[in-house]
Every structure is written in structure tokens, then in C-alpha cells.
Amino acid sequence: MKVGNAPVEEGKEYDVKIDAQGSKGDGIAHYEGFVIFIPGVQLGQDAHIRITAVRRTFAIGEVVK
């Protein structure tokens, strides 16, 4: 399901690079400028992720194994 102007959709997979780290240790990636929080990844890591939730200003993803 697409939310607002989010360039990502829940359930879809994307290739991203972790370019920041959140205050709680989650990795942060940007996809077309949109913020995606991904737990369990390291800064600088390339990751193939699946979006698990989309909010108005950010999304949450998980690494696809």
C-alpha cells in the first residue's frame, strides 16, 4: 500500500545503502530522499530490504536474507 508521496511501498523490496545510524542503533537509508529505518545493519553496509511499514515521513524495513 502506498502512503502519501512515499516512494516506497509496504511489502516491496529495495536495494539501499545504510548512510546513517539512528540514536537507538538502527541503520538509516534514504530511497529517493525518503528515510527508511532498518534494525540490525551497520553504517556503510549495502542491504536488500523489504518494507514492513510506511508512515507519512518515514518507513521501516528489514533485511531480506
> Quick one: pLDDT band at residue 1, thresholds 50, 70, 90?
low
Q: What is the pLDDT of residues 41-63, one digit of tens each?
A: 999 999 999 999 999 999 999 99
Q: What is the pLDDT of residues 22-37, one digit of tens each?
A: 998 899 999 999 999 9
Give CA separation, 63 vs 1, 31, 47, in Å: 19, 15, 7
What is the pTM (predicted TM-score) of this model? 0.91
> Quick one: pLDDT band at residue 9, thresholds 50, 70, 90?
very high
Please give the Cα distance from 55 to 43 (Å, whole number): 23
- Give the position of cell 511499514: 53
Q: What's 18's domain CATH number? A: 2.40.50.140
| Residue 30 within any structural domain of the chain | yes
| pLDDT at residue 3, rounded to an integer | 74
Count of domains forming the chain: 1
